[in-house]
Amino acid sequence: MNEYNSTSLKTPLLLGGAGGRLRVGVLGAAGYTGGELIRLLLNHPEAEIVFANSESNAGNMVSDVHEGLIGDTDLKFTSEMPFDDVDVVFFCFGHGKSEQFLKEHDVPASVKIIDLAQDFRIKGDHDYVYGLPEIHKEQVANAMHVANPGCFATCIQLGLLPAAKMGLINDDIAVNGITGSTGAGQKPGATTHFSWRNNNMSTYKLFTHQHLHEICQSLNEVSPADSPVIGSPIDEGGTVSIDFIPYRGDFARGIFVTSVIKTDVSGEDIIQAYKEFYKDAAFTHYTDKAIDLKQVVNTNKCLVHCDKFGNKLVVTTAIDNLLKGAVGQAVQNMNIMFGLPEDSGLRLKASAF
């Protein structure tokens, strides 16, 4: 077996797959996130999929559901969950289902869990680490259980974290973000139907989006002790608020966000702080050039750009909602947890052309 070492891990890890490869199980494998995760794992040099669980598709070929994998795998969905045969399991459930699943099933203590639902993202009576590597890499490296951040939460936080650390968030922040239709999941709905979504835009969950809680949690964590408490517009515990308006876009994947912060700090000092904050980040990059969505779609990157107009700082961020906003970041966390190179299996080409 191979030994994988990380400077932040207390002991090397011995893996039980063929040639010492990481053995992986996927729960909720038939949805968008499950399919995208399987695609990444099939091409991961240090991982092998032991099982892909889907009760409704048990016995069917994975490529019959995820047709983009035709010719890539002969893996079949299974209703079984052989946890004793894996090193790590991904929960690709809908929100609220992970906590219920753990109440009804026993996952061995030796098996690491990466949960893509929102059940354990907020600190509480559990041992899940919030898996945003840009601020929690060391904690992730030593974790048994990781709560993967939400898609909008990832994009918005990565735009605001350096500003929060600088103590720039002293007033309400206006945030606008547009997401592709895959963000709504695979189950068809009125607002994902092609004839409605095509050539159309709409807002939803104004000021009440569920990701606001985890966004505020992280921003308050990195802010100076004497900074105002950051909350959502309907959170009475916040002194300043993140005024977030989400939009549905007429494209399949990607998130594009602008955030406006009032500050008298010079643009030069802010840009330097942003570059310093992300200098060691594997996938989050500050760029001096204006960004667009196609630069990140199909990658695990987040691109960040700042513009200063008088006392207004405009921060623009972009990610792929299924990758850096979901399973790409989950695989990034898996790599960190097992002492693998952080970018293993994640060097992906953007769909810019």
The pLDDT, as a whole number, for residue 237 is 80
User: How much is the average pLDDT of 314-339?
Assistant: 98
Residue-level pLDDT at 197: 81
| Share above pLDDT 70 across residues of the chain, in percent, rounded to a whole number | 93
How far apart are alpha carbons 85 and 339 in whole angstroms? Answer: 20
Catalytic residue (one of 151, 155, 302, 306): 151
Under 8 Å between Cβ of 106 and 130: no
151 included as an active-site residue: yes
Read off the pTM. Answer: 0.93
pLDDT category at 231 given cuts 50, 70, 90 is: very high
**What is the per-residue pLDDT across 75-88, written as a single tens digit (0 to 9) for each?**
999 999 999 999 99
pLDDT tens string 6-44: 333 433 455 666 668 999 999 999 999 999 999 999 999
| pLDDT at 17 (0 to 100) | 62
Q: Cβ(173)–Cβ(243) under 8 Å?
A: yes
Q: For residue 207, is pLDDT > 80?
A: yes
pLDDT score recorded for residue 188? 64
pLDDT, tens only, 246-276: 999 999 899 999 999 999 999 999 999 999 9
- Six token digits for residue 231: 């909350």
Task: Provide mean pLDDT across the span 275-293.
Answer: 98
pLDDT score, position 3: 32
The lowest-confidence range among 13-27, 119-133, 172-186 is 13-27
Predicted local distance difference test score (pLDDT) of residue 26 = 98
